[in-house]
Amino acid sequence: MATLRSEQGCPWDKEQTHRSIVPYLMEEVYEIIEAIDEGNPSKLKEELGDVLFQLVFFAQISSEMGHFSIYDVVEVICKKMIFRHPHVFGDATFETSDEVLRQWQQRKREEGRDSLLSGVPVSAPSLLRAYRIQQRASRVGFDWQKADEVFDKFAEELGEFKKALSDKDTDAVEDELGDLLFTLVNLSRFVKVNPENALRRTINKFQRRFEHIEETARQQGIDLSDMNLDQMDRLWNEAKLRHP
């Protein structure tokens, strides 16, 4: 990386900044997730390398600015993990994962975190952010007691959403839809499903099935825009059998 950024290096690499390479890091992280979803170890190995390269890229830019090096990055994370695992590297004893998570939050507060919710990136996908925020609030008891209570809350929020629609109140519709989605995320925690993973799985399934409709239409020499909904529904049901 230092060579790529040197005077004799690559013109493109030399031009990059922290901000300019953020999109590449995000893209590579999503490709890691895709490799995991596909269960492809070879692809995962390659994508992990791509992300590692991006991390070194960030660190090299920082090193050139006189801030820190990749070695400093590794040292900081090692110290942090040792501090947050006193039951592994110290004399503390924790019997359950819940006990570990509670002390983890306590250690983060000792590091200067003002809120249980700090550290959840504002720029994270909203579904994932909601899930993480709810998890953290739950660790101090701010949570429903059972799933039935969440179902009741969902019914309440659904009623409020329908009312906002009937009132044609645009702001209220957005607010109530947000409340509805937030409650669904709560429900996902109670059934122990990560909503981000669940939605990604459904999106991938929808894409596979819709692509079957497109391919079948092409084979029949039909343009999708010329098909009616009943025709597409028949192909959709066929796709469901082929792509469960």
Q: How far apart are CA 236 and CA 149, in angstroms?
A: 36
The helix/strand/coil state of 117 is coil
Mean pLDDT for the stretch of residues 45-62: 97
pLDDT for 123 beyond 80:
yes
Q: pLDDT band at 112, cuts 50/70/90?
A: low
- Report the b/e string of 91-126 with b at 16+ CB within 10 A: eeebeeeeebeebebeebeeeeeeebeeebeeeeee
The CATH code for residues 126-193 is 1.10.287.1080
- Spatial contact of 196 and 125, defined as CB atoms under 8 Å apart: yes
As given in the structure block, the two tokens for residue 243 are: 């792509």
Domain boundaries, the chain: 11-84, 126-193, 197-242
Contact 117, 134 (CB under 8 A): no
Q: What is the arithmetic mean of pLDDT over 121-127?
A: 87
Residue closest to 116 by CA, chosen among 104, 126, 127: 104
**Are both 11-84 and 126-193 of the same fold?**
yes
Closest CA to 86 of 98, 94, 75: 94
Average pLDDT of the residues of the chain: 92
Query: Which CATH class, in words, describes the domain spanning 11-84?
Result: mainly alpha
- Over the stretch 61-77, which tens digit does the pLDDT of each residue have? 999 999 999 999 999 99
Give the span between the Cα atoms of 54 and 26, in whole angstroms.
Answer: 10
pLDDT at 139: 81
- At 99, is the pLDDT very low, low, confident or very high (cuts 50, 70, 90)? confident
Determine the distance from the C-alpha atom of residue 192 to the mean position of all C-alpha atoms in its chain, rounded to a whole number: 16
The rounded distance, in Å, linking the Cα atoms of 133 and 33 is 21
Pair 16, 57: CB distance under 8 Å? yes
